[in-house]
Structure 1
């Protein structure tokens, strides 16, 4: 109630009441009010790039500092990398013949070439990382830096294709336009916001920059980042939401450690009203310091005029673990994961552990699909292009690109919490037609065709040497002589 309302209330309480009632009625949303309780609640107006441009570099730098110094940040990121990428998201070529059946001969040839190309010396322009290590590096940089630019160069030795990862700070431009296109933070876009090209500065490993930028078209390169708004053209660290909390918990634990070290320093202070002559007569060591000691069971008579006070530094030792656990839960939930998987501290019963696992798997599957769509598929298309240039893909490739770039990706799976229950449930689901062997194998990171082929090898070998293997109901192997090896 302001001064005017108080005056009106003093003269006419009825009118003052009506004023307050009408004010409450037209107030609207509580979230839009400005009062003493939410004056520090600042709204964020503008496009994504308007909000992010002044903060992106600072957030990226702080995220990298957390990468170098925060075990909690690294634990969260490694949990994502471990479950999303694992040993790699691997392709299975799915080219089909004219009859619609898988062209096994061509698919195996493509996969053999892939297995050669993914070696570090062939796929990485630096010759340092394998393709699956580049997968992990790209996702790590997206999590910490918010983005990474992938350049599909033609400088490869084995194939006319090699991958170059360009870090975020190299993306930029001193220009604001290129013809009719607009350049925003180094990204050239058209009137509809579609990315046309990237303007990149060259730097050496020590970060010495050449201020002459190079233009990479969207056909040559693509920016690996996750957009959350239609006005976004650059990425921002995926840790931005929880980065301050990670810093706070690290600072808190450091402060608690200092408090513990101070508390461990037991000290006693002797105060004296004695004269200088009396103090000078005290027994001293070789350095001239008064000899004073504490010992178990010691009874020490003080001189007249002396008293003793003990240091008692205060430390609230009981709150550190509780604070750490609470903050870790909030950080984990902000990243879409359970605290169990981030802190590697599994508590609770079987049902709770299974529920956390299922929720975490939903997060990881979503991220796996994102990596497939925005990292793996563009590189796979470029790889098939390179195979065509090498003469491995048939000549009708240019008119049938969709046919020859068909692929499925095998993601790393997860172990079952209760294998017996899971296996029995999957067996019944397959028998009832509710799922397939491919789906079940994919969930555990296995290739169903390789599983069947290996099973056939084991059965034949066991039969050859006379060893019985209990596989349950035997599978009848049908040899399809028509479509299996047909190359067109």
Structure 2
């Protein structure tokens, strides 16, 4: 019986099979179980160095390369902006307070007081008072995705020389990953600038007082900050990983190659646009030196053959001809090659190809299918960003507002659920508003969805919309106006053409 081609044997296998056929067969079966693990001249052997050693060696270089591309490569900058805009968005991650009474219902009065104090805090949420809350979220998400991690220190109550800027004495100090040194370690408990206990839980962070590249007396001075005051947003690939790695790590080489290739093609096309000609001579026997113009000393004069519109050249010697240099640029295959590279970039980054490439060709159904499949990735990133940053900030805000007496917790409140809230991320945009609106109206009328869900899907806060509607309709009533949205006004049935709502 012939041996399968996929099972390779050596002299040891054959010798073992001669003395013990059963053992030889088991040896061959084990080898054939995972062909991808076999080393050959076509496949390199891969070794794992643990979850933290690769980060120790490469994290700083990766974030430096990602920052360079963000500054100098339009595609990389646009891809990062696409991720940030879809994870955080123009309005940021919304928070709808849901504090509960012991019976499980929402404590509306306390929720309203929290919303009012939260609006005031969102104007100046950080120590420099240069960024409002939505912008702070976008900056944190940008550093988080580009660098792989970002840190924030929570400052509560009276702090020396700090003006919180809001009624609730709570501020954030956002700082980049460079201020927590990867190379700082002290024994087994402090590795990569993070101090952990025996269970691996962070208990302290060692942070430079200033950015290590800044010039100052405190640039290289480390201080320990308790872990309960630090928010660490990180992109983790491994369970035991301490520090985050840039989301661009797997596509940096492709982006750099794409940038270099496009620059070469751009220069080649620019050179090709500059018309260049050359004089082509025939065989040597046709060349007559006596026809060459010379100066008074008998030296050959340089020939002036500058091209001009409608020019007739009659100064060519016998056997000479004028030809143009053709560089074959622009490259006709550039567009298709670039599209393939951008699809790979989008797949590795987790952004949609249409958004990264700005190529929106396709039908409504194909665009919506791409958006639906892609939105899951945005939703996962939004969930990670909310859990690591937005939710802890909200919980600390509620606790600080209570302890400072700004928004005290009512006695009838369930204290374990005082900081309950609904975090509203970005909603999937509507490609065709008419079709989407009719689909949601049908679901609402059939009882499969609620008006609150529709409002949240559009990225708005239900309570804010309710207050706006009540105020607006009261104003309309006072002025004696009748709008089409008023009760009792007959509305024409909508006319829809084209595809049915999907």
What TM-score results when the alignment is normalised by the length of structure 2?
Answer: 0.81
Please state if 1:138 is matched with 2:146.
Answer: no
1:3-14 aligned at under 5 Å gives the runs none
Give the structure 2 partner of residue 330 of structure 1.
Answer: 344
Matched residue of 1:359: which SS? helix
Query: How far apart in 2 are the matches of 1:218 and 1:402?
Result: 22
Separation in 1, partners of 2:61, 2:317: 62
Q: Distance in 2 between matches of 1:438 and 1:357?
A: 23
Q: Secondary structure at the match of 1:123?
A: coil
- Larger deviation, residues 22-31 vs 401-410: 22-31
- Contact map agreement 1:173 1:183 (CA 8 A) in 2: no
Distance of aligned partners of 1:65 and 1:334 in 2 relative to their CA distance in 1, 3 Å threshold: same
Structure 1 176/349 Cα, relative in aligned 2: closer, same or farther at 3 Å?
same
**Corresponding position of 2:203:** 196
Question: Cα distance 1:461–1:309, how it changes in 2: closer, same or farther (>3 A)?
Answer: closer
Label 1:292 to 1:6 Cα distance change in 2 as closer, same or farther (>3 A): farther
Deviation string, structure 1 residues 318-369 (Cα, Å, up to 9, x no partner): 1111111111111112122321122222111110011112122222222222
In 2, the alpha carbon distance for the partners of 1:173 and 1:371 equals 22
Counterpart residue number, 2:119: 115
Give yes or no for the alignment of 1:217 onto 2:217: no
Picking from 392, 404, 409, the partner of 2:418 is 404
Report if aligned partners of 1:123, 1:163 keep a CA contact under 8 Å in 2: yes
Q: How does 1:15-164 map to 2 (within 5 A)?
A: 26-39=31-44, 43-86=46-89, 87-119=91-123, 122-154=124-156, 155=162, 156-158=164-166, 159-164=168-173
CA distance in 2, matches of 1:408, 1:350: 32
Deviation at 1:30, TM superposition (A): 2.2
1:42-62 deviation digits (Å, cap 9, x = unpaired): 524022211221111111110
User: Gaps spanning 5+ residues in structure 1: where?
Assistant: 8-14, 475-488
Q: What is the CA–CA distance in structure 2 between the aligned matches of 1:338 and 1:28, rounded to whole Å?
A: 37
Whole-angstrom distance in 2 between the partners of 1:423 and 1:312: 56
1:233 paired with 2:242, answer yes
Whole-Å separation in 1 of the counterparts to 2:461 and 2:257: 44
User: RMSD over aligned Cα, in angstroms?
Assistant: 3.3
Q: For the residues of structure 2 that align with 1:128 and 1:460, how far apart are their CA atoms?
A: 38
Distance in 2 separating the partners of 1:198 and 1:32 = 39
Q: Aligned in 2, Cα 1:358/1:473: closer, same or farther, shift over 3 Å?
A: farther
Supply the distance in 1 between the matched residues of 2:154 and 2:10 (Cα, whole angstroms): 72
Instruction: Please give the alpha-carbon distance, in whole angstroms, between the structure 2 residues aligned to 1:384 and 1:78.
Output: 31
Which range moved further: 454-463 or 369-378?
Answer: 454-463
Could you report, residue by residue, the CA deviation over 1:417-461 in whole angstroms, capped at 9, with x for unpaired residues?
Answer: 233332232233233332222211111011222323333334344
Output the CA distance in 1 between the equivalents of 2:278 and 2:442. 77
Supply the distance in 1 between the matched residues of 2:342 and 2:208 (Cα, whole angstroms).
Answer: 38
Asked if the contact 2:129–2:165 (Cα under 8 Å) also holds between the matched residues in 1, the reply is no
The verdict on how the C-alpha distance between 1:46 and 1:268 changes in structure 2, with shifts beyond 3 A counting, is same
The Cα shift of 1:175 comes to 5.3
1:364 aligned residue (378, 400, 403): 378
- Aligned pair partner of 2:312 in 298, 319, 322: 298
Contact 1:93-1:408 within 8 A present in 2 as well: yes
Structure 1 residue 222, shift from structure 2 partner: 2.0
Decide whether aligned partners of structure 1 residues 174 and 246 sit closer, same or farther in structure 2, where only a CA change above 3 A counts.
Answer: closer
User: What's the TM-score once normalised by structure 1's chain length?
Assistant: 0.83
Q: Which residue of 1 aligns with 2:467?
A: 453
User: 131-140 or 74-83, which moves further after superposition?
Assistant: 74-83
Conserved 8 A contact 1:282-1:290: no
